[in-house]
Amino acid sequence: MDTAGRVALVTGGSGGIGAAVVRRLAADGYSVGVHYARNRATADGVVADVAAEGGHALAVGGDVGDEPAMTAVFDAVETAFGGLDVVVNTAGIMLLAPIAELDLADLDRMHHTNIRGTFVVSQQAARRVRPGGAIINFSTTVRRTQYPGYGAYVASKAAVEGMTLILARELRGRDITVNAVAPGPTATALFLDGKDEATVARLAEAAPLGRLGQPDDIAETVAFLAGPGRWVNGQVVYANGGLA
């Protein structure tokens, strides 16, 4: 697919899977908005990496659940690069506890970022992405594996899947695909935080491929949906090494 002149915005693009997505899309020739919530220095580092490879990127900050802040983020990317073709919404938080024990303040935090944030970003994307573009949200393989302790997180991602699949139908006739990627266990700070070595090893062995996913594995799936995968629409794509 010819990506010359194409523009992407990656929320949560300053680290983990988001940073890998930024670098992969930039390698494909996209100009990329690198969104961050708090850590400008990390986002600037990703922008510098892209520039070092001859690409174009811009750091843009804001709370994904804040409509004025995200309007400004979308405005900044369009002003800098002349439009918008792909929005990848990797921003999310994961707070784990059994349902009976979860602090409801943690539930509210995940709702704000994972549900409201995805809705705000999807809404802006639906209004702005050009024909031939793509909107890619993020779910989780735990929606199927149903591990104890993930109830509130999975509930937030089930909501993401629901709004993603409906948006794909709402954009009929616009030539814009809308999909969600559902990673399995992936070696990021978000996944590794709070897990001991035995737990990490057990989860790595759960997939038939016998390892944790890497951010670059997920970025490859995103690059396919953003570019050549034009006939994949209204789907949840599981990128998990064969985990059930």
Active-site choice (30, 36, 150, 153): 153
Query: Helix (H, G, I), strand (E, B), or coil: what is residue 135?
Result: strand
Question: Kindly report the CA angle at 237 between 232 and 238, in degrees rounded to 5?
Answer: 160
Contact yes or no for 17/218 (Cβ under 8 A): yes
87 beta partners: 9, 135
HSE-up of residue 30 (Cα within 13 Å, Cβ side): 30
Q: At what angle do helices 215-226 and 16-27 cross, to 10 degrees?
A: 50
Helical residues (DSSP H) of 30-66, grouped into ranges: 40-52
Query: Helix (H, G, I), strand (E, B), or coil: what is residue 136?
Result: strand
Contact yes or no for 216/20 (Cβ under 8 A): yes
Concerning whether 147 is annotated as a catalytic residue, the answer is no
- Which residues carry out catalysis? 153
